[in-house]
Chain A
């Protein structure tokens, strides 16, 4: 009996195990790149998880996702500069502010286009994205700012290998948020309702679930999580209006890689993407191309998916 269980375990997780082995081997070859890649990748996953939730449950692709992150970073910045609040502590108020903002935006705008089809929804969130970016531009100009907190540059040395430790927080938070989502979906009533709505909104409605409320909470929470990310990112980021925009694209790339509804897949995909980018960046002479890795991956995933549909 135990042998059967063991072989089932290996079969189910074989892809994951190959992946981890590959990463470990790469780590020996280029340790800094891999560590950096895991950290960046975790950041991508951290930002991608709430987008995946919104897309999967509410069915809306929020093109303004990254720009809410930018807003959160600026609000965090304000707390730091004007009130002297430590960035990691400012996570609490910023998260609440962004939750409120998300709820407001949802009620005022998104409810009106939910029945109108994807075109209108995309145009709407595109418009919101532009409003956010340009408002930040007007208020703060495009001049990048930075803050300094002593612990942001902390480092550690293990066996001749020195590395920055702050960004390990991204990994920590990514796992924490993933686990938080899983627990929420499985163990809380609202979470189970959310899961039901994600599977089958009409069915959920018939059973009596208030899908409007679920949508509201999910959307609000996904924006709120960006508040957490903002606080964590603040000490190490250059702050400018377009700081969050690239993450919208990468989050979508993760959703495309992992497939809808696959939350752990977002974490894995994020780390894979992060490592891929880091490896490209470490190749001398080609480091500028690392910004295109996500696009190449996106196209590859889309092409493979569409070919599968054809060939079946």
Chain B
């Protein structure tokens, strides 16, 4: 059974790596978008597993993007280093923020993170000497000079790295800490789990991932601006993808990203305006009727039959 699983994964991996060779530029750009949102969706789910709902994906995504563009444009930092620094800055801010707000949970944490994108936006608008203000900022050398195949491989690498981290979180003691915190904090701490430490850890790691992918995304185009970089798109889609695919899992967000990523391309053709409404509707419908998502429902169904 296991060898079948591993061979399937290997095959998919090879197919993913070889994809750009067999498809055209349009499909590669769709794939890049799917990978970007897949990473965001997975990182959002990783935080969700602790029981804390973070609405900050767009905020840290944009923060990473702005950091990378600013330091590469103004300080001439190498693009790949900028991506890493973008991640570190996002993680650093998450650390400071987390210390302030993670002791109060649930609603307080969720809403404070919801405000993040607009707060970062305001800060950026005000510091226009550094950030270019409302009109945005440009860096002239972009990643791989718009070579979409190489950009695809970079995004694939980031996505794979995130998948690995997500699985690590599920296979080490982190899994037990996170799941026990989510299930019952009183029990967790009575049995020795340092809740605060684990929450901060997961929050910082997931925010770093969002910063990294934000930096890579921004450096593709060499452009950031408060409206486009902090767009609620980068919050709405990852959440719907994880919900559709199945939360609390690695495969769920992957599946959700592929399903919604592909259908959004189709939607854009059919409904040029207002396709964001669909994502809102999707979130509402999934929360109301299939809270376990597609993968989650299938997984529960299979395990039910196993235990009959």
Residues of A within 8 A of B (CB): 61, 63, 109, 112-113, 116, 118-120, 122-124, 126-131, 134-135, 137-138, 246, 249, 252, 256, 288-289, 291-292, 295, 298-299, 302-303, 305-307, 309-310
State the majority secondary structure of interface residues on A.
helix
Residues from chain B with Cβ under 8 Å of A124 in the complex: 283-284, 287-288
Closest A residue to B48 by beta carbon equals: A119
State the majority secondary structure of interface residues on B.
helix
Question: By the criterion CB–CB under 8 Å, are A303 and B55 in contact?
Answer: no
> How many angstroms between the C-alpha atoms of A303 and B102 in the bound complex?
9
Residues from chain B with Cβ under 8 Å of A309 in the complex: 103-104
Residues from chain A with Cβ under 8 Å of B123 in the complex: 292
Interface residues in B, total, Cβ within 8 A: 40
Question: By the criterion CB–CB under 8 Å, are B53 and A61 in contact?
Answer: no
Q: Mark B77-112, 1 if CB is under 8 A from A, else 0.
A: 000000000000000000001001101101110111
Residues from chain B with Cβ under 8 Å of A138 in the complex: 273-274, 277
Question: By the criterion CB–CB under 8 Å, are B53 and A119 in contact?
Answer: yes
Residue B8 interfacial (CB < 8 Å):
no
Residues from chain A with Cβ under 8 Å of B282 in the complex: 127
Q: Do A299 and B101 form a contact, CB below 8 Å, given A134-B276, A138-B274, A288-B126?
A: yes
Residue B280 interfacial (CB < 8 Å):
yes
Question: By the criterion CB–CB under 8 Å, are B280 and A130 in contact?
Answer: yes
Kindly identify which residue among B104, B115, B281 contacts A249, using a CB–CB cutoff of 8 Å.
B115
Question: By the criterion CB–CB under 8 Å, are B101 and A128 in contact?
Answer: no
Residues of B154-204 contacting chain A, CB below 8 A: none
Question: By the criterion CB–CB under 8 Å, are B111 and A61 in contact?
Answer: yes
Q: Which of A127, A131, A298 has the most CB of B within 10 A?
A: A127
Residue B119 interfacial (CB < 8 Å):
yes
Kindly identify which residue among A61, A122, A288, A295 contacts B125, using a CB–CB cutoff of 8 Å.
A288
> How many angstroms between the C-alpha atoms of A62 and B282 in the bound complex?
18
* 15 A–B contacts from the bound complex (CB under 8 Å): A109-B288, A119-B51, A120-B291, A122-B53, A124-B283, A127-B282, A127-B283, A127-B287, A130-B276, A289-B122, A292-B119, A298-B112, A302-B100, A302-B101, A302-B112
Closest A residue to B99 by beta carbon equals: A303
> How many angstroms between the C-alpha atoms of A107 and B97 in the bound complex?
37
Residue B114 interfacial (CB < 8 Å):
yes
Residue B236 interfacial (CB < 8 Å):
yes
- Supply 12 further A-B pairs (C-beta < 8 A) apart from A249-B114, A299-B101: A61-B107, A109-B288, A113-B287, A118-B110, A123-B53, A123-B283, A127-B280, A249-B115, A249-B118, A291-B118, A295-B115, A295-B119
> How many angstroms between the C-alpha atoms of A284 and B104 in the bound complex?
36
> How many angstroms between the C-alpha atoms of A277 and B277 in the bound complex?
33
